[in-house]
Amino acid sequence: MVFKSPRPAAMVLERSQDFGKTWKPYKYFSTNCSATFGLDDDVIKKGAICTSRYSSHFPCTKGEVIYRALSPPNFHNDPYSPEAQAQLKITNLRVQLLKQQSCLCHSNDLNTKPPQLTYYAVYDFIVKGSCFCHGHADRCVPIKGFRPVKATGVFHVVHGRCMCKHNTAGTHCQHCAPLYNDQPWQPANGKTGAPNECQSCRCNGHSDACHFDMDTWLASGNQSGGVCDNCQHNTEGQHCQRCKTGYYRDLRRPFSAPDACKLCSCHPVGSAVLSFSNSTFCDPSNGDCPCKPGVAGPRCDRCMVGYWGFGDYGCQPCDCAGSCDALSGDCVSSSADTDWYHEISGFYSPSNKSAPTWGWEDEQGYSALRHSGKCECKDQVLHNPKVFCGMKYTYVLKAKILSAHDKGSHAEVNVKIQKVLKSTKLKIFRGKRILYPESWTNRGCTCPILNPGLKYLVAGYEDVQAGRLIVNMKSFVQQWKPALGKKLLEIFKDCS
């Protein structure tokens, strides 16, 4: 401030951060701080909130009163720190002129009569500042409804709306932009210059906004706290990372594509109702539907080979050694390439990581092998080591059954080999492989039984010329148990 009159003998500069509802002092000014305000003088005690520097009655005119918000003791290296912002953020300034000078102001001219002043007069009241943007903007623009004041000298207006950078938003860049809430919002670091940008949420292109969730942030070890809002394109999940129930992942499309999730097309008659729902849903990883007993096909729209009478209760076994007509049940020879069964594994795919697990009641088992009625398969038990050694199996492995298909001339069983206990001439590795059950085609009977989703010990013979692993009625097939591994090691010792 520049006074035309002598400067006040006492005054106070105040600030408000709530548009004048409450006020806090910036600085007290007095010729005698202790007598006027009961405060220490910063001329004597450094950092005191009162000062006598600008309260002398000299000069008689053009005397200045200067205040800097971040002058000691309020100096901070980082102007965006909470402590600095407590000093810098204001909506209003107020000056209370409390006391005039008690003595007359004499000029250097002895012939000039000292004036009797009963008023305060101010030449200039200059406030320098900037819009408040937390370090996330370089400039500000007028807020909506701003009307410029046309007056002499009114040019440098501090506008109220920041032009935000660093993926921030808000009038003062005080929060992150809608799709950038993966980490907590922070102001820029004025000391190091780090922008502290807001980080984008991983929504796979299926959401335009996300919010920050503290529980998610803490659970991730302070790595990611973004939760996508209003997932589109039939997706769901924290990151819109899986298809909604009733839709499946189309692997031919990138998951970020709007049509990556397709509507399930399960047949209303042949599809089974899951135990955890009153509706029929397909496997979200590939669209395969859960079928009723004896029913096959990705949509569950036809009978398996060896079954007929497609209807509300599935399909019934043919009364034949081989296959039969799917409509009439009349016996025929099979030549079609048809699914025998297909395992419906847990709802898992790279983009469907946490959906529920398929739960089947006993009478709803997908594999018709459990309801065959066509032949009785004898349970095999590993009792006599000599008998097992005498069979001279050329391969022994632990495998999980995935799916099976009737190729007309032969059957194929897709398995995932988890452990190779013995191999002779063929190279057998862990992973997916095909077993060839000769007995299923030759006898018209699904023995030995290989149920979908289960793990088995399978011992059989290699067809070296064709490069095939054969399963037949001489093979040893038993559902896997942990004790089998130890027992086999002992048997292999006896065999050698």
CA angle, residues 24, 30, 34, in degrees to nearest 5: 90
Q: Beta strands 261-263 and 295-296: pairing type?
A: unpaired
Q: Which residue has the higher pLDDT, 277 or 318?
A: 318
Q: Compute the chain's Rg from CA coordinates.
A: 42
Q: Residues 25-46: pLDDT tens digits?
A: 999 999 999 999 999 999 999 9
Q: 322: which residues sit within 8 A by CB, 6+ positions away? A: 306, 331, 332, 333, 334, 444
411 closest CA partner among 448, 377, 438, 433: 438
Note whether 290 and 284 are within 8 A (CB): no
State the pLDDT confidence band at 366, using cuts at 50, 70 and 90.
Answer: very low
CA distance 289 to 291: 6
Q: What is the DSSP code string of 71-107?
A: STTS--S-TTSHHHHHHH--SEEEEEEEE--SS----
Q: Both tokens of residue 72?
A: 């000691």
Tell me the pLDDT tens digit for each residue of 143-159.
Answer: 777 776 666 655 556 66
Check residue 148 and give its pLDDT.
65
Q: Please say if the pLDDT value at position 361 is more than 60.
A: no
365 and 293 in contact (C-beta within 8 Å)? yes
pLDDT of amino acid 170: 93
pTM check: above 0.75: no
Domains of the chain and CATH, by start: 201-240 (2.10.25.10), 249-374 (2.10.25.10), 385-495 (2.40.50.120)
The 10s digit of each residue's pLDDT in 396-418 is 999 998 887 766 667 788 899 99
What is residue 3's three-state secondary structure? strand
How far CA 261 is from CA of 114, 190, 205, 278, 282, in Å, comes to: 90, 46, 13, 22, 12
Q: Which of 93-102, 291-300, 368-377 has the highest mean pLDDT?
A: 93-102
Distance CA 388, CA 260 (A): 51
460-489 pLDDT, tens digit each: 999 888 899 998 888 899 888 888 888 888
> Helix, strand, coil shares of the chain as percentages rounded to 5?
10, 25, 60
CA 433 to CA 441: how far, in whole Å? 19
Least confident of 85-99, 152-166, 300-314: 152-166
Q: Give the tokens for residue 17.
A: 């951060």
177 HSE (CA, 13 A, CB side): 15
In whole numbers, what is the pLDDT of the chain averaged over residues?
Answer: 82
CB 90 within 8 A of CB 67: no
